[in-house]
Amino acid sequence: MTTNHYDVVVVGGGLAGLSTAAYLSSKGKKVAVLERGQLGGRAVTLKIKGFNFNFGAHAIYARDSSVLRTFEKELDLHIDWQDFNPNKAKYDTGDMLTAVPANVQGLFQTKLLKAFDKVLFTFEILKTMLKMETGHPHLSIQKWMEKKHINEEVQEMMLTLASSNFFTREPEKIPSDVFFNYYSRLFTTNKPVAYIGGGWQALITEFVRVIEANNGTVLTKTKVEGVRVEDDRVVAVMTPEEEITGDEFVCCIPPKEMVKVFQETRLEHAIAQYAEYEPTVVVVYDVGLKERIDVPYSYIYDKQNNIFITDISYYDHTCVPEGGQLLQATAYLRQSEVGNKEIIEQRKQEIENLYDKHFPGWREQLVVPRVSTRAIVQEIKWTMNQKPMPISLPDYRNLFFAGDWCEGQGQLSELSFSSAYNVSKLILEKE
């Protein structure tokens, strides 16, 4: 058995693991990343018949105030930002298409709210922007709205926005503080949504470039199966081939995996409690088309069925063969619907109907479909009874956690990046 020693051992090569490793190696740490499969984790780009299918639209929210932007600046990452065009975003209410009130212009154009309700809605948003309204961790957004006697139309609007941004069919369960925190960021940004040219893969390549330029080690197909602990420290991780020792350890694998790795350690029970949480699960149904179907929108949100379609090739020309089009559809699932084959078939049908309605002729142009019936968009769902995992626990002083199941800023990958950044800072402060 060989022994390799590193300043920092990072377990998991998803966005959290790679950004932690890139940041720490750029600060002079000798870092190793251990990934059981391929790099990227859920931020994966699959190339099929010339189409680059990304898991999700790799939309980055409020990029100007995001932690990814901080990484971009500090690590000199090359990111090809493609900003979302709000004028091409529409809500499908069932009988009409109308503007998404994602910015002030959208708010005044949308037919979803009557003139008076728009004033009320704007007022609520203004309070959020000025941080006059912060919500309460023990009050769901639904309960908060009832308590504040918010007008019904405005209530519906707020829940619709939350539904589309939090990837949930149950927006009423979001804690009000999480809701307001999120919206105060989103409504004060100049860049509400942006995509990345080249997809997730472009970002992964950039992180790996930084790690390798700083003499870091990236090991794929290297599964961590256990840890060796001494007193209040982790001293090594075990892979089938070797034991890898380190001064600090950052665990960037979902809690359900972590439970197995930390079996028979002091953390077994503490971690089990986080592993019981429910993830946010969606059905993804993407289609690669031979020729573009030109329509005046690049994003459609079906308000009744909680499905959205993004014309990702409108933003990222590199993801299609010449002249082609890549449409991504995502349908949210309620917790009770996860794994229910009948419901999932029904959701797929609803997606196809939405394609028929807004991209007529897509079936004739279809080159390759890609369906995933159980995609975990975020490991932890923000509902009243679920709390994210802290980035460190008192049991082991040289062990940290990062990932979208951890405490951090924002939603989705921003949670992975922000927890990765906070963990890196904690490690660097130890010096």
Ligand X SMILES: Cc1cc2nc3c(=O)[nH]c(=O)nc-3n(C[C@H](O)[C@H](O)[C@H](O)COP(=O)(O)OP(=O)(O)OC[C@H]3O[C@@H](n4cnc5c(N)ncnc54)[C@H](O)[C@@H]3O)c2cc1C
Would you say 13 or 171 has its CB closer to ligand X?
Answer: 13
Cβ distance to ligand X smaller for residue 378 or 383? 378
Q: CA angle 149-98-351, nearest 5°? A: 100
User: Shortest Cβ distance from residue 302 to ligand X (Å)?
Assistant: 17
Alpha-carbon gap, residue 4 to 243, rounded angstroms? 7
For 312-385, strand residue ranges (E) read 325-332, 366-378
Give min distance, CB of 199 to ligand X, in A.
11
Please report how close the Cβ of residue 425 comes to ligand X at its closest, in angstroms. 17
Pick 61 or 359: Cβ nearer ligand X: 61
Residues lying near ligand X in the complex (CB under 6 A): 11-17, 34-37, 41-43, 55-60, 223-224, 252-254, 257, 261, 282, 284, 375-378, 403-404, 412-414, 416
CB atoms within 10 A of CB 143: 16
Name residue, tokens 């893969």: 201
Q: Which two tokens stand for residue 334?
A: 């309620």
Helix (H) / strand (E) element for 417: namely helix 413-429
SS3 assignment for 352-372: HHHHHHHCCCHHHHEEEEEEE
Spatial distance between the Cα atoms of 328 and 310, rounded to a whole number of angstroms: 5
| Residue 370 CA, distance from chain mean position | 19
Q: How far is the CB of 280 from ligand X (least distance, A)?
A: 9
Q: How far is the CB of 148 from ligand X (least distance, A)?
A: 30
Using CA atoms, how far apart are residues 370 and 267, in angstroms rounded to an integer?
39
Residue with Cβ nearer ligand X (150 or 171): 171
Given the complex with ligand X, which of 159 and 375 has the nearer CB atom? 375
Q: How far apart are CA 412 and CA 405, in angstroms?
A: 9
CB 60 within 8 A of CB 32: no
For the CB of residue 261, give the shortest distance to ligand X in the complex, in Å.
Answer: 6
Least separation in angstroms between CB 163 and ligand X: 15
Q: Which is nearer to ligand X, 150 or 192 (CB)?
A: 192
**Cα–Cα distances in Å, from 327 out to 99, 163, 291, 387?**
20, 20, 12, 34
Compute the least distance from the CB of residue 328 to ligand X, in Å: 8
For residues 341 and 322, give the distance between their C-alpha atoms in angstroms, rounded to a whole number: 36
CB of 162 to ligand X, least distance (A): 16
Which of 117/268 has CB closer to ligand X? 268
Residue 42 or 347: which CB sits closer to ligand X? 42
DSSP state of 394: T
User: What is the crossing angle of helices 176-186 and 152-165, to 10°?
Assistant: 80
Q: Which is nearer to ligand X, 55 or 359 (CB)?
A: 55
Q: Which helix (H) or strand (E) holds 137?
A: none
* Shortest distance, position 312 Cβ to ligand X, whole Å: 10
Comparing CB distances to ligand X, the nearer of 117 and 243 is 243
Residues 6+ away with beta carbon under 8 Å from 326 = 51, 52, 53, 286, 287, 288, 289, 311, 312, 313, 319, 320
What does DSSP say about strands 243-251 and 399-401: parallel, antiparallel, or unpaired? parallel
